[in-house]
Amino acid sequence: MADRQLHVGLCGIGLEAYWPQFEGLRSRLEGYVRQVAERLGKMDVQVEELGMVDSAQRGREAGKACRRADVDLLVIYVTTYALSSTVLPMVQRAKTPVLVLNLQPEEAIDYERFNRLPNRTAMTGEWLAFCSACPVPEIANVMLRAGLPFYQVTGVLGDEATWAEIGEWIEAARVKKALAENRLGLMGQYYSGMLDIMTDLTQVSITFGSHMEHLEVDELTALCAEVGEREIASRIEDFRNHFEIQSDCAQTELARAARTSVGLDRLVETHDLQSLAYYASGRGVPQNEDTMSSIILGTSLLTARGIPVAGEYEVKNVLAMKILDCLGAGGSFSEYYALDLELDHVLMGHDGPGHLAIAENKTKVRPLEQFHGKAGSGLSVEMSVKLGPVTLLSVVEDAKYGFKMLVAEGESVPGEVLRIGNTNSHYRFPIGALGFVKAWNEQGPAHHCAIGLGHLSTKLSKLAKLLAIPMERVC
């Protein structure tokens, strides 16, 4: 089992020559670094404290310590002036994303108190405690010339807006780590003819670090055959707790869905999956058709508990769903349904799994006599996304960078929905329905996207930077 806690290396940087010159300066600056460590520790991260890095030798040692600790993000707190030759060997050896904190201890120097200090040595020591901005251009110059990406937060040490920005970087780093440790199950094959969703799987591993585990539908069918009646009855009770089961749902269909749901859980546990994309008609093998036509309730439960499942073998979209879920925003599978130009809304939804945790009301279960475009019949879920701000995310293949992220912020709004046993919602965008559709399509996404709660573009832009891919925001 992978260690999924985020590991953050933290150091302060300064200049060794200052310590004997200015009494108390080092201990004061180290106190500021401890404040940063305490705040980071409250973000549920493991902090590897590297101390005060104030020379090239200490930089080399700190970089090696980062490698030994396998840190996911190196946070460099610029406490005062520091030489770029201190930072370069550390970053070169750490080989991990770098966040530079350019944080003053207060909003401004107290000039009146400063000018009453007893001598100019004391004055210089006080000024140096506020001097974090000074070396950042030097550090940036060398990092860029060395081809080493870095990111920065500029502000005041105790300011909550500053810490909100740092928190977004921590969240982005946490999502990047989750993607790198994501075991993505791929079961079945692509829906024939959907050229837009066919994906370069090698590039998925290169860009996101995810491992793909190729699975057979036969294995799931075999696991379902082992499920006992007591387990089926227990899972039906789970369904009643999580769903609003409509009166026309046959007990035999609930039992079929329950058996497949338990089998799915065993498949996920066996392969330690953190996400799953699937599609198979099952035609020609009745047992497999039975499995695949009874999968929707089980995949919805998995999605709700942080193991997103995408139908139609949509690899790119399950990555988008995983990203949004890691941000605590859900991530429900969606596509255009229709435009309501009278209301200036876009209707979006999809058949298959829904994200129960972001539903406006309890998700309904309805029987479908025929799954449109797919084999068989069975139970399906009908839900709308919670009203309020939402973010649409698509992972799009990009000729230069492998992938890019496409983002739009809008709002889930009330409106009459199609009662067809699918997820579906009304969305409003600041650039209007026609403006949104035009701008979104111009970016060349596949026809699916993931929808999450809240406006997340600032967090997603930070994740894109950590992944070294572009992000396009249409609204």
Instruction: Find the distance separating the first CA and the last CA of the chain, reported in whole Å.
Output: 39
- The full set of domain ranges for the chain reads 6-179, 182-473
**pLDDT on residue 192:** 85
Q: Report how far residue 447's alpha carbon sits from residue 436's, in angstroms, rounded to the nearest whole number.
A: 14
Residue 10, strand partner residues:
49, 75
What distance in Å separates the CA atoms of residue 237 and residue 224, rounded to the nearest whole number? 18
Write out pLDDT tens, residues 32-57. Answer: 999 999 999 999 999 999 999 999 99
- Backbone region of residue 178 per phi and psi (left: phi > 0; alpha: psi in -120 to 50; beta: other values): alpha
Half-sphere exposure of 377 (CA within 13 A, CB side): 9
In terms of residues, how long is the chain?
475
Q: Are 471 and 404 in contact (CB under 8 A)?
A: yes
For the four alpha carbons of 109, 113, 115 and 121, in that order, the dihedral sign comes to negative
With a cut of 70, say whether residue 410 has pLDDT above it: yes
pLDDT at 1: 46
Note the pLDDT tens digit of each residue in 362-400. Answer: 988 887 665 555 555 678 888 889 999 999 999 999 999
pTM greater than the 0.85 cutoff: yes
In whole angstroms, give the CA distance from residue 7 to residue 25: 29
Say whether domain 6-179 belongs to CATH 1.10.10.10. no
Domain 182-473 coded CATH 3.20.14: yes
CB atoms within 10 A of CB 240: 12
Helix residue ranges, H only, 328-450: 432-442
pLDDT digits (tens, 9 = 90+) for 267-292: 999 999 999 999 987 777 889 989 98
pLDDT of residue 293: 87
Question: What pLDDT is recorded for position 416?
Answer: 85
